């Protein structure tokens, strides 16, 4: 049997491995019943469903005829940077505080991206301003905002208008 779509096949295998691992590790706990669920019930059911989904996806990878069938090289470097950033955040949170831990998280995890460039980042203190230049060729009103809705009252949301 030939693998037609490597991406789908290996994604399915990954689902099967993770699902089986969760279901297997949960067996150390009491299963309970559907009416009185024990601590093993949810991870076992969820892991089983994930494994079944993995079988379906892997079988589609064997049968699918797609043009995009090559699997890209697995990049361990970015994964290591992001995991390292999360570990650094956890280790720095109590001794250094939230602000330092967040800065470390952002800086370290950004090293895992080939798209991030420090020169494109502007850190502003309260009351500071920055000027931004860009090409605006699509008329209309465009929202600039912070994703925390409570911050809009403090001026973290505005818009700019592009006219023809």
| pLDDT tens readout for residues 108-156 | 998 888 777 766 666 677 788 877 777 778 888 887 776 666 666 676 7
pTM strictly above 0.75: no
Query: Could you tell me the CA-to-CA distances from 149 to 65, 105, 123, 126 in Å, in that order?
Result: 45, 23, 20, 18
Task: Round the average pLDDT of the chain to a whole number and report it.
Answer: 84
| pLDDT tens readout for residues 23-44 | 999 998 998 888 899 999 999 9
Tokens 């995009």, residue? 68
Rounded mean pLDDT of 58-73? Answer: 74
Closest CA relative to residue 110, chosen from 120, 95, 97? 120
pLDDT higher than threshold 90 for residue 87: yes
């Amino acid at each position: 049997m030939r693998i037609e779509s490597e991406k789908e096949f290996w994604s399915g295998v990954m689902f099967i491995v993770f699902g089986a691992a969760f279901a297997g590790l949960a067996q150390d706990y009491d299963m309970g019943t559907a009416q009185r669920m024990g601590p093993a019930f949810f991870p076992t059911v969820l892991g089983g469903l994930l494994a079944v989904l993995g079988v379906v996806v892997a079988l589609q990878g064997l049968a699918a005829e797609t043009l995009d069938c090559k699997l890209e090289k697995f990049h361990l470097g970015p994964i290591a940077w992001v995991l390292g950033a999360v570990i650094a955040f956890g280790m720095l949170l109590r001794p250094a505080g939230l602000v330092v831990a967040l800065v470390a998280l952002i800086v370290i995890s950004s090293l895992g991206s080939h798209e991030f460039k420090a020169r494109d980042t502007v850190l502003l203190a309260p009351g500071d301003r920055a000027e931004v230049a860009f090409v605006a060729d699509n008329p209309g009103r465009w929202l600039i905002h912070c994703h925390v809705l409570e911050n809009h009252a403090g001026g973290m949301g505005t818009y700019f208008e592009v006219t023809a």
